[in-house]
Every structure is written in C-alpha cells, then in structure tokens.
A and B are shown apart, each in its own frame.
Chain A
Amino acid sequence: MSPVGPASPVWYAARAGLRRGWTELRQTFTTGQDLFGHALWTVLLIVPLLLLRDEPLKGAGISLGAFMLPSMMGMTLAFTGLMTTAQLLATEREDGTLLRAKAVPHGMVGYLVGKIIMVSGTALVSMALALAAGVFLVDGVAREGGGALLTLVWVVPLGLLASLPIGAVIGSLVASPRAIGLLMLPVMGMVVISGIYFPLSKLPEWLQTVGQVFPVYWLGLGLRSALLPAGAVAAEIGDSWRHLETAAVLGGWAVAGLLLAPSVLRRMARRESGAAMEERRWKAMQRVG
C-alpha cells in the first residue's frame, strides 16, 4: 500500500480525478445528445407541474404543483445518484473506460473520484434547472429563504452519499448497460410510492411503510421542508418535517452503500480484462448487427 498524504500517488490520482470529473461535467453540458437528455428530463418534470399548478393541496395552503416541485427535485437527486451512476459504470465497463483506468497507476482512484464529481455535478445542475423552470410556474416555492434553505446544505450532500454508492454497486453487479433499462420499471414503482406526485398519506398504510424504506421519499421530504412554506407541513405524515428521521434513513443508506461499494467495486475491477471486454463487445455487436 502506498503512503497516504498530500504528496502520495493516491492523492495525486485523486486530484487527477477531480480534473477528470470537471472535464466530464463540462462535456456533458456541451454535447448535443446529453443536453437533449437534460432538457427532456426537465420538460418531463415541468409538464405535471403545469397541469396541476392550480390544484389546491387540501389544508396545506399550497397547490399540488408547488408540492411536486421540491419533491421532484429530490427525486432527480436520487435518480441521478442511483441510475446515472449505475448506467455510467455499466456502460464504461463495457466500452473499456474502466480497463483503461485500471491500466494506469491508481487509475481507479481517479476514475471513481471523477465519477463522483461528474454525477454529483449533474444532479445539482438538473435540480437547479428544475427549480429555475418551476419557480415561475407555481407559487409558494423557495419563498421562505434563510433557515429553511440551510436544510439543503445537509440534505443534498447526504442524499448524494445515500444514492451514489448504491448506484455504483448496481452498476458493478449488472451484466450489461441494457440491464439498467430493465431496472427502470422497479425504480418507477419506487417513485410512485415515494410521495413525489402526491402526498404519501394518500396511500394505504402498508405502502406508506414500504415507501419510507427508500431514500427517494426522504429526499423529497427534505427538499419540501427546505423550499415550501411552513404551513405545507400539514400534508406530511405526522404533520412534521421529521428531520431526524430523514437524516437517519439517508444516513443508513449512505453507510450501507459506503460499506458495500468498495468491495463490490474492487471485485468488479479485478475481473475486468481485455478478454472480458472483448466478449461483451462482441455480444453488443451481435445485438447491433
């Protein structure tokens, strides 16, 4: 094991990873295809907002549209952290990006740091885009300012920590990027029971319980607590923003992911070889051809 310190090769690789992440972030927001993807996502979020901007949320003093905006930002965060990470890892395993990282000294360190920067940055920009577009469409969002906004300072990083490592585990375990597509179905199901498009309290109790297991609900809740007027708490379970529970559940996912990810990633990286890649490439070509 190399010594760890500011001058050690590991640190050097980590800093190379920072630059890598920054470069990739710049690329994703200057490449036509990616930009289209980001724009499409934002539009898909905005449409239901537009439709329900005047629909009142009973007892909460806000519209259903206003309820949805921060919820969808939380969903965007979780979705990017989980699915984009998994998708990128699976794709870059197949196309040889990872093998290249493995061939340079401490390249995997740089690769992972780069991926964290890239995915986190994408998540933040996507959330900001949704907010920027939505805030003009619905009333009552992000008017509180001050203390409520401070909630973002811990909810957002904790949300990234809760979702990225799990995404990395998924990306390491799936056989191919196509498998990520199949995962979309259960993920959509998770979104439905996570109180994004309507308050969780509208669901049967047992589904509420299931929904509260996953980080999506808590990220939605955390962002609502930060961006909605105080009165909107009336639409939540137990009439509370439940910050302590939010931190506990997201923290739990973060710890689980951070415990699991290193060994799964290491195992995946160890198995990467030119022959394994060639085989996947061949299979992918068969599919294309």
Chain B
Amino acid sequence: MSTTHALSEAGSSPPPERDTVIDVRDLRMRYRSQDVLNGVGFTARRGEVVVLLGPNGAGKTTTIEVLEGFRMRSAGDVTVLGADPARGDERWRARLGIVLQSWRDHGKWRVRELLAHLGSYYAPYSTALVQRPWDVDELLAAVGLTEQAEKRIGTLSGGQRRRFDVAIGIVGRPELLFLDEPTAGLDPEARQEFHGLVRGLADENTTVLLTTHDLAEAEKLADRILILAGGRIVADGAAEELARQASAEATVRWTRDGQSFEQATAEPTRFVRQLFEEHGEAIGGLEVRRASLEDTYLTMVRELETGSVTGEQAAHAFGKGSR
C-alpha cells in the first residue's frame, strides 16, 4: 500500500529539470556614474531558502528586482527558472511569486475577494503537476487569515497585512518566491509566525530568495546566507559555515597574580592547555571567546559605512578570497 503510494508520488514529482533555479554571474548595475552592484554572483537550488543579507543601500533590492524582471541590468548573466528575466514572458512570470510590501493599495477590497481575483490570473497556467491557483480558503488558513477573510484590506493590522502580502505572493503556487525585507516593521510574534510560513513553503520545494538587514533573521531562516556589501557578495554559505569562518580566531582572557591578560589565537584549545601547563593553579578568570557571526558582520557593516574598508577587504573578513 505504502509502496504504491510512494510510487505514484514519485510519478507525480516535477520533471528532473535543472536543479539550479537562480544563476547570477557578474551582475553589474550602474546608476548615472555610481556602481551599485559590481559583479554579484550566486546560485540557488530548488527548495533552498537563500537569504540576501546586507546593510541598507547595499543593493539588495536592486539585485532582487533584476531577478524579478522589474529592472534592467547594466551587465552580467542572469538566469531565473531557465530564462533571462529581462526577456521573461508571462508563462515564466506565472512560475514566480513576488511578495510586495503593501502600503495602502486595494484598501477597499476584501481579503478573500482580492486573493481570489489575483489568483484567477494563474488558472490558465495550471498543469497536471501544479494546480493553480491555490485554493483561497486553504491559503487563508495557511497564512492565518481565515477570520479576516471578509474584512476590508484597509482595516488589517500591520502583521495581518504582511501575511496577506505573502498570501498574494504565493497564490499562484510559485516555484520561486521573492521577498524583499518581508519582516520590516513586524512585532516579534508576527515575525515568528512569518518565519514558520517561509519554512513551510521551502518544505514544499519552493525556492525562496529573501532580503533582510537582520542577521538573526537570516540565521534563523536561511539554508544559505549571502552577505551583500559594497555591491558584491562578500560571504556565501550556511550560517554555521559563515560563523566558523568568522570565528577563525578566538580571544583568550585570563588573570594571573591579579593581572589581566589577553591573547588572540587561532588555536585556543592548545593555547589554554599550554597556559595551564605553564602556570597551573595561578590562572584565574579564564574566558575564551570566539568572534560570533554577529560580531564579524556588525564590524564589517560599521567599517563599510565609515568607508574604512572596501568590499574586497570585507570579503577577506569572511575568509573569502576576491572573486
């Protein structure tokens, strides 16, 4: 019984299309005489949650809008779902979900009404594998807005509105979902709910590209974090990997005979052992501290903002060679 089920499941899984959903190489963007992006490159695989992390003005929105096909790039190769976004047709667009930040649009519409309306555009793009659009009641339940279904959109709270934005973004059952700063202005509880929602989508094999300037959010959500700074990707890896790279050096602090000491070392374990072999009982107040990803990130942002380092140098902070 379960075997048959598994077989039929396998039979209905998406065709073995290329596993790379986003492929960006040497993306450049120039406004007037200013370079906003200087050679951004990264890829995203099917079902991955990739978080584009960076300080304000790093070029996150620009990058995401190039991928959405909303903005023309100056140079570089970009492939999204097998097509160049600059030439993506409506069939291609039907496979994308874009979560926009609502402000006061469609204020007179009711929640269910607008969701059903926007969903209806996707019906011609339904396939045997993907039923489009998402059933409105199911979707409302998924984003926790069942009770607000008949409310006017203008009367929703900030958190409800943001969840509604996500519902609109995914009503066409996208293969790839873009979210630009989705949790800006959300309270911690709404943020928590939102994170659960995004993880759930990824579990259903939706690829998610999300931007944020909040490191904690990136660590919580991302399969992979891309740090964008100074117009380039300065770090690319899972949160743990980046943390490991960032914390290659540790600081050891101790006291001996009432005096404080501090030593930076790449091998704190060995250093501490030697310390005790040498001084034994005289050592007190021992503290070994590895730089956290947060320390490294915040230091980098600060240095980039004051202009004391370049993007290239920032890349080195994450143990990443220039690319």
Q: Which residues of B contact A273 (CB under 8 A)?
A: 65, 70-71
Q: Is B254 an interface residue (CB 8 A)?
A: no
Interface size on A, residues (CB 8 A): 34
In the complex, identify which listed stretch (A9-17, A60-68, A162-170) lies at the interface while the others stay far away. Answer: A9-17
Those of B275-297 within 8 Å (CB) of chain A? none
Partner of B65, one of A28, A95, A106, A274: A274
Q: Is A31 an interface residue (CB 8 A)?
A: yes
Q: Which residues of B contact A277 (CB under 8 A)?
A: 103
A104 near B124 with CB under 8 A, answer no
Q: Is A139 an interface residue (CB 8 A)?
A: no
Q: Which residues of B contact A278 (CB under 8 A)?
A: 61, 101
Interface centre among A8, A97, A100 (most CB of B within 10 A): A100
Partner of B100, one of A2, A20, A274: A274
Partner of B125, one of A9, A19, A99: A9
B103 near A95 with CB under 8 A, answer yes
Return B306 CB to nearest CB of chain A, in Å: 25
Task: Decide: A104 near B93, CB < 8 A? Known: A16-B117, A95-B104, A274-B61.
Answer: yes
In the complex, identify which listed stretch (B8-16, B105-113, B143-151, B260-268) lies at the interface while the others stay far away. Answer: B105-113
Return A151 CB to nearest CB of chain B, in Å: 35
Give A28 to B89 CA distance when docked, in angstroms.
Answer: 34
Interface centre among A104, A275, A277 (most CB of B within 10 A): A104
Give A7 to B125 CA distance when docked, in angstroms.
Answer: 11
Q: Which residues of B contact A7 (CB under 8 A)?
A: 124
A-B contact count (CB 8 A): 90
Those of B79-132 within 8 Å (CB) of chain A? 89-91, 93-94, 96, 98, 100-106, 108-109, 113, 117-118, 120-125
Q: Which residues of B contact A4 (CB under 8 A)?
A: none
Give A158 to B83 CA distance when docked, in angstroms.
Answer: 43
Return B112 CB to nearest CB of chain A, in Å: 12
Give A281 to B100 CA distance when docked, in angstroms.
Answer: 13
B117 near A100 with CB under 8 A, answer no
Counting chain B residues whose Cβ lies within 8 A of the other chain, the interface size class is 35 or more
Q: Is A209 an interface residue (CB 8 A)?
A: no
Return A274 CB to nearest CB of chain B, in Å: 6
Q: Which residues of B contact A31 (CB under 8 A)?
A: 108
Return B73 CB to nearest CB of chain A, in Å: 13
CB-nearest residue of chain A relative to B64?
Answer: A274
Main secondary structure of the interface of A (DSSP, over half): helix
A107 near B121 with CB under 8 A, answer yes
B121 near A275 with CB under 8 A, answer no
Q: Which residues of A contact B113 (CB under 8 A)?
A: 23
Main secondary structure of the interface of B (DSSP, over half): mixed
Give A157 to B163 CA distance when docked, in angstroms.
Answer: 42
A27 near B109 with CB under 8 A, answer yes
Give A38 to B122 CA distance when docked, in angstroms.
Answer: 35
Q: Is B230 an interface residue (CB 8 A)?
A: no
Return B208 CB to nearest CB of chain A, in Å: 16
B105 near A12 with CB under 8 A, answer no
B89 near A275 with CB under 8 A, answer no
Q: Which residues of A contact B117 (CB under 8 A)?
A: 16, 19-20, 23
Q: Which residues of B contact A96 (CB under 8 A)?
A: 100-103, 105
Those of A105-160 within 8 Å (CB) of chain B? 105-107, 110
Q: Is A54 an interface residue (CB 8 A)?
A: no
Give A102 to B100 CA distance when docked, in angstroms.
Answer: 11
B90 near A105 with CB under 8 A, answer yes
Q: Is B62 an interface residue (CB 8 A)?
A: yes
Q: Is A103 an interface residue (CB 8 A)?
A: yes
A104 near B70 with CB under 8 A, answer no
A9 near B90 with CB under 8 A, answer yes
Give A280 to B65 CA distance when docked, in angstroms.
Answer: 17
A23 near B109 with CB under 8 A, answer yes
B105 near A105 with CB under 8 A, answer no
Q: Is B168 an interface residue (CB 8 A)?
A: yes
Q: Which residues of A contact B124 (CB under 8 A)?
A: 7-9, 12, 105
Give A101 to B118 CA distance when docked, in angstroms.
Answer: 8
B106 near A100 with CB under 8 A, answer yes
Return A72 CB to nearest CB of chain B, in Å: 28
Task: Decide: A92 near B105, CB < 8 A? Known: A13-B121, A105-B94.
Answer: yes
Interface residues of A (CB under 8 A from B): 2, 7-9, 12-13, 16, 19-20, 23-24, 27-28, 31, 92, 95-97, 99-100, 102-107, 110, 272-275, 277-278, 281
19 A-B residue pairings within 8 Å (CB atoms): A9-B121, A9-B124, A12-B121, A16-B117, A16-B121, A24-B108, A27-B109, A95-B105, A96-B102, A100-B118, A100-B168, A105-B121, A105-B172, A273-B71, A274-B70, A274-B100, A275-B61, A278-B61, A281-B103
Please list the 3 inter-chain residue pairs (A to B) with the smallest Cβ-Cβ separation, ordered nearest first.
A105-B90, A9-B124, A97-B105
Interface residues of B (CB under 8 A from A): 61-62, 64-65, 68, 70-71, 89-91, 93-94, 96, 98, 100-106, 108-109, 113, 117-118, 120-125, 168, 172, 180
